[in-house]
């Protein structure tokens, strides 16, 4: 491969937006093992969030994909391959980047829902504390508009 071709391929794989319109490869060999990459990414993406039991699997996959990407880019940098082989490697690197982008966009768990539940529990504890502190924890006095608190002459 000629020097300008090698630089062209490296610029292509490192270009911002290179993954726009790119497809995730159907299968890819990662660390000597054939992986159904597209199926894996779509399976995980369907869930929108990564359940705790799958988090390790997804993290391991991302780590292996990053390592594989680095090795493939290194093969292009070395320049000891044909331009045609370099093009195929560059396409696979862009496909790996596309898969990594999809996996990085996943939320680890339902953080918003968890935060809402914690906030609601905190609010409930606070209201219970206020009721006890103000002496309104008598099983319904506060629901009666405070009528149970004043005995006798009112307004």
In a domain, 23, yes or no: yes
Residue-range definition of the domain harbouring residue 120: 111-137
Q: Tell me: the pLDDT tens digits for 29-87?
A: 887 888 888 898 888 888 767 767 778 888 888 899 999 999 999 999 987 899 999 99
Distances in Å between the Cα of 37 and the Cα atoms of 48, 134, 149 are 17, 60, 67
Measure CA of the first residue to CA of the last residue in the chain; give whole Å: 95
Together in a domain, 91 and 30: yes
Helix, strand, or coil (residue 146)? coil
Domain count, the chain: 2
Q: Give the pTM.
A: 0.64
In a domain, 52, yes or no: yes
Together in a domain, 58 and 127: no
- In angstroms, the CA 44 to CA 84 distance is 33
Q: Tell me: the pLDDT tens digits for 2-27?
A: 999 999 999 999 988 888 878 888 88
């Amino acid at each position: 491969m000629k020097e300008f071709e090698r630089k062209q391929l490296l610029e292509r794989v490192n270009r911002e937006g290179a993954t726009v319109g790119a497809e995730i490869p159907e299968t890819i060999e990662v660390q000597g093992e054939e992986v159904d990459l597209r199926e894996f990414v779509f399976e995980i993406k369907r869930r929108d969030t990564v359940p705790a039991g799958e988090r390790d699997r997804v993290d391991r996959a991302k780590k292996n994909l990053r390592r594989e990407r680095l090795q493939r880019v290194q093969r292009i940098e070395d320049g000891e391959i044909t331009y045609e082989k370099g093009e195929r490697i560059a396409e696979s690197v862009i496909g790996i980047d596309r898969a990594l982008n999809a996996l990085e966009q996943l939320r680890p768990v339902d953080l918003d829902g968890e935060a809402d539940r914690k906030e609601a529990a905190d609010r409930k504890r606070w209201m219970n504390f206020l009721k006890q502190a103000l002496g309104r924890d008598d099983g319904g006095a506060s629901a009666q508009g405070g009528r149970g608190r004043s005995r006798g002459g009112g307004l």
